[in-house]
Amino acid sequence: MLVIMRHGASQEQIENVINFIKKKGFDAHVSTGELHTVIGCVGGKVVDPRDIELLDGVKEVIKITSSYKLASRIFQPQDTVIEVNGIKFGGSHTGVIAGPCTIESYEEMDETAAKLKETGVKILRGGAFKPRTSPYAFQGMGEEGLKIIREVADKYGMAVTSEVMEISQIPMFLDYVDILQVGARNMQNFNLLKELGYVNKPVMVKRGLSATFEELLMAAEYVMSGGNREVILCERGIRTFERVTRNTLDLSAIPVIKKLSHLPIIIDPSHGTGLRDKVAPMSRAAVAAGCDGLIIEVHYDPDTALCDGAQSLYPEQFSDLYSDLKKIAPIVGKSIDTQEIKTV
């Protein structure tokens, strides 16, 4: 249920409504828009909407039929813009994240990040805890890897994103990363999502291998219901009958999510296709469709990568792609924020 306050409703009236709905057992989530303040009421049992409509300053009460409420465009009409290290996701901004699949060594991260900085990237990716299909595959460097990615990112003035796999890792992640990534395989790990709701850093939720858009938005709702409003959604391909590509990258996620939700939607063309030569065309298409960001795997030497080398771009390929994306974005009213490169 959403309570839309009248334009110009006083703070006292807003607080009065919040107190009323809290007494009825609801949690109140306030969204202050340009025209109206909206109060999202979640969790309570039953209340007669007319009782709220009668309160001073209330314009109307809307019952939301969708199962997600805080993530819904109805709750917040304006786009959520999430800023990390000067890079924005959402609104008129398209943020770019790049880096290797996995943190393998200091040298690997350092060599890769040096190239990415030259291109203008300000957010570095790299997995330290890897959700591998086989228990015998490289599982990641763990905390040692997080230390490496943090050190390298600091050296190049970058922020860090990395995948957190379980609740017990959250405090450790908060020491090293700026965006906590929930992987596709964990999109419905509800306990993890709930706990990330209490974190005061952005959370990136990747779409599950067979998740519907509604399920993805419900995953975001889990995080948001804990109080964390900074959720970035990520389309990374879904499983279909197709076998040529690793997954089927569903770019319809961009217009669909944008209509249903105010949260930024970013695209992962690397896992979405699994093939290096498909990454650039799909990235260009994603930007043309108005995505709010991209997360792209780049390795300084993909042929030696321990994980996902075949879908990782060579730094030169990435740099060419990046300049294409900067040209495409303005056509759809967006811009790609970039690292200031100081030439001496």
Q: Which stretch binds Mn ion (CB under 5 A): 180-188, 216-224, 284-292, 304-312?
A: 304-312
**Nearer Cβ to ligand PEP (79/178):** 178
**Total of residues contacting ligand PEP (CB under 6 A):** 11
Q: Which of 40, 90, 99, 127 touches ligand PEP by CB under 6 A?
A: 127
Over the window 209 to 248, marking each residue x when it contacts ligand PEP by CB under 6 A and - when it does not, the resulting string is ---------------------------x------------
Binding string, 272-291, against Mn ion, x = CB under 5 A? --------------------
181 to 200, contacts with ligand PEP by CB under 6 A?
Answer: 183-185
CA–chain centroid gap for 331, Å, is 23
207: Cα separation from own chain's centroid: 10
**Taking CB under 6 A as the criterion, which residues in 131-160 touch ligand PEP?**
131
3-state class (DSSP) for residue 293: strand
Per-residue x/- track, 52-91, Mn ion (CB under 5 A) = ----------------------------------------
Work out whether 101 is an interface residue with Mn ion (CB under 5 A): yes
| Closer to ligand PEP by Cβ: residue 39 or 98 | 98
Token pair 């599950």 is at which residue? 208
DSSP assignments along 194-254, one per residue: HHHTT-SS-EEEEPPTT--HHHHHHHHHHHHHTT---EEEEE--B--S--SSSSB--TTHH
Site map 96..125 versus ligand PEP, x via CB under 6 A: -----x------------------------
CA distances for 107 relative to 124, 145, 151, 202, angstroms? 15, 12, 12, 28
Q: Which is nearer to Mn ion, 119 or 311 (CB)?
A: 311
Q: Which residue matches tokens 């807003």? A: 14
Per DSSP bridges, beta strands 27-32 and 37-42 are antiparallel
Q: How far apart are CA 194 and CA 171, in angstroms?
A: 14
Distance spanning both ends of the chain, measured CA to CA: 57
C-alpha span between 59 and 110 (Å, rounded): 56
Bridge pairing between strands 159-163 and 123-125: parallel
Place of tokens 């390929």: 317
For residue 119, the minimal CB distance to ligand PEP (Å) is 19
Identify the residue among 79, 104, 221, 308 touching Mn ion (CB under 5 A): 308
Q: Which is nearer to ligand PEP, 132 or 284 (CB)?
A: 132
Q: Name the minimum Å distance from CB 185 to ligand PEP.
A: 6
Contact residues for ligand PEP (CB under 6 A)? 101, 127, 131, 163, 183-185, 206, 236, 268, 271
